[in-house]
Amino acid sequence: MTVEEALRFIHSRRHGGPDLSRMRTVLDRLGAPDRAVPFVHVAGTNGKGSVSAFIASVLEKSGYRTGLFTSPFVRRFNERIRVDGMDISDTDLAEITERVRAALGEYENSVAEFELVTLIGLAYFAERQCDIAVLEVGMGGVHDATNVIEKSEISVFTSIGLDHTQYLGDTVEKIAAVKAGIVKPGGLAVSCCDPGGAVSGRCRELGVGFIPVNLESLRVRSRSARGIEFDFDGLRGLKIRMAGMYQPANAALAATALRALAARGWRISEEAMRAGLEAAYMPGRFELLRKEPDLLIDGGHNPPAVEATVRSLRETYPGKRFRFILGVMADKDVPGIVDRLLPSAERFYCAAPPAPRAMSAEALAELIRERGGEARPFPSAAEAARRALWETPPDGAICALGSLYILEDVRRAVCSEVP
């Protein structure tokens, strides 16, 4: 199997919920690779990818061979499965996909894409003999494909808000209860929020420790589009290069989880903590691509995340209004997203993400105009980015957001425009 054949096979699978008993059967056929690796399991509505990246980076700096499983990808598929900061190679992806396909047997035509990718990731981490792996939940928790693992060192919960309500529930408390399903006996849970006491309640049921994050001790010292310096819980002068104003809280959650791991016997020094937090990087998280005009890309794709992005923009560029390159999925709360952008918007450049669930650029532009904004549709995010660059003065600012799926097109367009 070539890597092209592997990717075609992966992307030809259906979308939908997993069957964890089916996944367990396939894993056992593969030699139970998930039982060979300890896990940090990360769930939440927003911030999962960044928190996972912070934790993995610190573990790498601590000398552990560390796996990292995230979704979706921004630049290429391989970035979803990493070991020690390196994407899975095309050769390994093809070989392991072929091995997993053989183990599927009678399930080959029924397995969902995210199930398959999770199986590939778990098999790869075991093959590379990872000391530990960080797993980002895809959606939800208790029924997520990543929850096929039977044990975890620690369960980590980022912010929890209203998203995927058709699947997870129509209140934050219901969604939190679903996400709390990743807590495992014998582990720990660290959380920055606990709607309805769902996470702490699950911990009490299982007799495991619950550690809330002390965000009151978080103090930002300085920030720019290049990074942030902050103090947290006795650690002074921590630095991160992911520049969104929401990132210090994500880093604080990661630091709390890492301290909890240290208390369980993992060797994590303050030096490794500092170096790992500063080195951590996830593409498309308030990422500055160019200057004059400044153009940033951000993965905000639901109202709470977009609101956090707008706060970051206002703090980084006080007094400015922004030109937004916007692409969204039709099943999101699109009016809620637009309403949070409008007060800071000069105009919108609309494009449909390259995905089946995408809202058309024309429909998005019409919705924005109906709500009082200036908007134009474009055939692609790349064309929208080129037009935004051409029309924006050197002292202006542009932000592309709404879906991770548009960001790489914007990146390519911007790079082609840089002298």
CA-angle at 166, arms to 160 and 172, nearest 5°:
25
What was the pLDDT predicted at 5?
96
**Dihedral of CA 11/170/212/279: which sign?**
positive
Copy the structure tokens of residue 43.
């769930």
- Its pTM stands at 0.86
| Dist CA 230 CA 239 (whole Å) | 7
| Dist CA 214 CA 101 (whole Å) | 45
Side chain identity at 361, as an amino acid letter? A
What was the pLDDT predicted at 418?
45
All domains of the chain in start order, with CATH: 3-279 (3.40.1190.10), 287-417 (3.90.190.20)
Ramachandran bin of 404, using left for φ above 0, alpha for ψ from -120 to 50, beta for the remaining angles: alpha
Half-sphere exposure of 208 (CA within 13 A, CB side): 24
Residues in the chain predicted with pLDDT less than 50, given as ranges, are 165, 418-419
What was the pLDDT predicted at 406?
92
Question: Rounded to the nearest 5°, which phi and psi values hold at 136?
Answer: -90, 125
Beta carbons of 377 and 348 less than 8 angstroms apart: no
What pLDDT digit, counting tens, does each position of 360-398 carry?
Answer: 999 999 999 999 999 999 999 999 999 999 999 999 999
Give residues with Cβ within 8 angstroms of 84, minimum separation 6. Answer: 60, 65, 66
What was the pLDDT predicted at 419?
37
What was the pLDDT predicted at 168?
63
What pLDDT digit, counting tens, does each position of 48-101 carry?
Answer: 999 999 999 999 999 999 999 998 888 889 999 999 999 999 999 999 999 999
What was the pLDDT predicted at 416?
60
